[in-house]
Amino acid sequence: MSPEPKAQSLLNKSRILIIEDDPRIRTGLLDNLQFEGYQAAGAGSAESGAEAWRAFKPDMVILDLMLPGRDGYYLLSQMRAWGDKTPVIILSARGEEWDKLKGFRLGCDDYIVKPFSLLELVARIRALFKRSQPLETNSDITELPGLTLNVVSLEARWGESKVVLSLKLGELLNYFMRNTGRVIPRRELLEQIWLVEQDLSTRTVDAHIAALRRALKGSGYEIETVYKAGYRFQEAQV
């Protein structure tokens, strides 16, 4: 596989790496994503996936968890530890809430449970590519008393603490910080952060909210669930 210059267009030249040990699923995804106009490559293990990740320089990774040898969690944690911020969609048969929260905590940007709809996967890929473009803000910093977020590096700071967020968690925190104190309906988050008008079969918002709460522990801010209304980002109530 000879890497080419990274694609600039997010419409039909983006590179997608599929790390999936089932050859039928991997081949099917390769064929369909290439039909959609993406440049796609595949790998069948965490080891070959890591090599392809570095050589192919993908704009997005579709990652299975149950791989031979090291699992997908390990590969994701290693790439994030090395500072790689490539958007990652986990595609796995492991659908328990704990599995999803672990994936988001390690830095994935979306999580889809097998069996899956190809149309749903393509919709999520397109939405994530759109959201991967630089955030349109007048400043690289969003700031509240005692809390700052760098929307480029995705680093949140408070006091002596700091945390580097995944792309999606960074976007979610940025939106909350710009709407502090206001109850934000779930539908609004789907439209503004995921660019969809309805949840596509997974409890994506709930899992991201839980992961962001965990990341912001001790920050002095909290995400309150307002029954049947949405979420409110505010200073933590003592």
Residues 23 and 106 in one domain: yes
CATH number of the CATH domain containing 122? 3.40.50.2300
Q: What are the b/e assignments for 168-194, b being 16+ CB within 10 Å?
A: bbbbbbbbbbeeeeeebebeebbeebb
| pLDDT at residue 201 tops 60 | no
Same structural domain, 88 and 23 = yes
Residues 85 and 181 in one domain: no
> Does residue 155 share a domain with residue 108?
no
Strand order from edge to edge, sheet including 88-92: 39-43, 15-19, 60-63, 88-92, 110-113
CATH code at position 146:
1.10.10.10
Tokens (6 digits) for 173 = 């925190």
Check the CA dihedral 106-110-116-121 and report its sign: negative
Residue of 86, 88, 112 lying closest to 99 (CA atoms): 112
Q: Tokens 């992961």 appear where?
A: 211
Number of folded domains in the chain? 2
Higher pLDDT, 97 or 183: 183
3-state secondary structure of 21: coil
Q: Is residue 69 part of a domain?
A: yes
Task: List Cβ neighbours of 141 (8 Å cut-off, separation of 6 or more).
Answer: 148, 149, 150, 151
Predicted TM-score (pTM) of the model is 0.64
The CA distance from 233 to 30, in Å, is 40
177 pLDDT band (50/70/90 cuts)?
very high
pLDDT digits (tens, 9 = 90+) for 24-57: 999 999 999 998 889 999 999 999 999 999 999 9
Name the residue range of residue 19's domain.
Answer: 15-131
Question: What pLDDT band is residue 136 in, cutting at 50, 70 and 90?
Answer: very low
